[in-house]
Structure 1
């Protein structure tokens, strides 16, 4: 088996994603309970809508035989937010999935997070933390996570769209992102309109609406660095249809 570490700030193609649950607690959470609790108190005071639910975080991740592999542990959102405030931290990896919505003209359609979330005003693809609900027999179903988050935030059903067979992985100090491009048979404006219609009737929306990235120069306020790297890669490597 050929193994290699993830390279920082570089798009890496993989054939598959194999992220497995370790039933033991995340060492980081066990070692820092007081600091995590103090930080959560501060975050909750600033954003009362935050919920300290369960999330999956990683103690190990690499690429082996063209497959992203990792070991995850069930912890809480408070641990994630505390880690985020001090990152990077040895032995802790945050991983999340990004389904990239690609319009028929090649434009990307992202979303802007609502002011009541932990990422107010930030622009990235509809996504959320990996959770226990995404596990299937102890293995994360990354496609299901993408489908669930996109449906919740935008109302779109990813299962009805074509996607690339593999994934692109981007590791940064802010976390490891698993991208998959989905081709939608409509214009970017039509996609944005459908997302906006969903937000309008959602009683508790997590997003403010859609943001179109029409070309490699698109740089709306709040566009996160990992999104800028993916934007550049996407327009240099158009999706085959």
Structure 2
């Protein structure tokens, strides 16, 4: 991955358009075999439809890109095989939960997921439920993922207006700060209780970050780059 490049924008202009992905088409048999092996190890993996991007452009306070539909198997193979199709990128929204005491709260992905042990903010690869009138609704995707992973609903936090976009080449994390009016430990306890009520939660643990000393190698570079900026 490239060194992180940060952009702060107020507008996301993400059109969803039909496009045939050459990587997915030409390597279909290899992808199918790879995904079958992944499913044998992690039966919970599902080959649903997801949205990934191309033609990213930052201009003034706007981020624009074109998104297209593909299957999760192709996305996973592209990711795990080192992002062989350079023009394509994984662009997703993240809700950075910031507590009243300044702490950030992050989740650790469970061992049954495609990202076991990774620690980051609530997020997910966009899918067809995130499309509104031909556009990708990243704010709505963040709201949906946050509720699924933590149980928090929109009335329980305040969203900052801007997006902190962290680009590493094959990934663009669109991070919005969500402010919660409770201390970090209280929010952590609230989310842990919610996870305990779920049959198969995506998250296996909740972590509190109060400064650079709490950053770990389990956090993707786009997450640590964002947090380093917040604590600078």
TM-score grouping bracket, smaller chain normalisation: over 0.9
- Aligned partner (choices 164, 170, 194) of residue 166 of structure 2: 170
Deviations 1:91-119 (A, max 9, x none): 21111111100011111100011111011
Is the 2:165–2:173 contact (alpha carbons within 8 Å) kept by the matching residues of 1? yes
The alpha carbon displacement at 1:221 in A equals: 5.7
Which residue is equivalent to 1:194? 190
Distance in 2, matches of 1:65 and 1:122, equals 32
3-state DSSP of counterpart to 2:67: strand
Distance in 2, matches of 1:66 and 1:27, equals 32
Distance in 1, matches of 2:113 and 2:226, equals 23
Question: Normalization by structure 2: what TM-score?
Answer: 0.94
Which residue is equivalent to 1:4? none
Which residue is equivalent to 1:209? 205
Distance in 2, matches of 1:205 and 1:94, equals 23
Distance in 2, matches of 1:32 and 1:194, equals 44
Distance in 2, matches of 1:235 and 1:70, equals 30
Is the 2:86–2:170 contact (alpha carbons within 8 Å) kept by the matching residues of 1? no
3-state DSSP of counterpart to 1:93: strand
- Aligned partner (choices 4, 23, 26) of residue 28 of structure 1: 23
2:227 equivalent to 1:231:
yes
Which residue is equivalent to 1:137? 133
RMSD: 1.5
The alpha carbon displacement at 1:209 in A equals: 2.6
Distance in 1, matches of 2:99 and 2:46, equals 33
The alpha carbon displacement at 1:135 in A equals: 0.4
2:75 equivalent to 1:80:
yes
Question: Normalization by structure 1: what TM-score?
Answer: 0.90
2:178 equivalent to 1:182:
yes
Which residue is equivalent to 1:156? 152
Distance in 2, matches of 1:71 and 1:35, equals 26
- Aligned partner (choices 110, 113, 118) of residue 117 of structure 1: 113
The gaps in structure 1 that reach 5 residues or longer are 1-6, 237-241
The alpha carbon displacement at 1:150 in A equals: 0.6
Distance in 2, matches of 1:174 and 1:63, equals 15
The alpha carbon displacement at 1:90 in A equals: 1.8
Aligned residues: 230
Is the 1:28–1:92 contact (alpha carbons within 8 Å) kept by the matching residues of 2? no
Which residue is equivalent to 2:52? 57
Which residue is equivalent to 2:92? 96
Q: Which moved more, 1:225-234 or 1:195-204?
A: 225-234
Distance in 1, matches of 2:177 and 2:137, equals 16
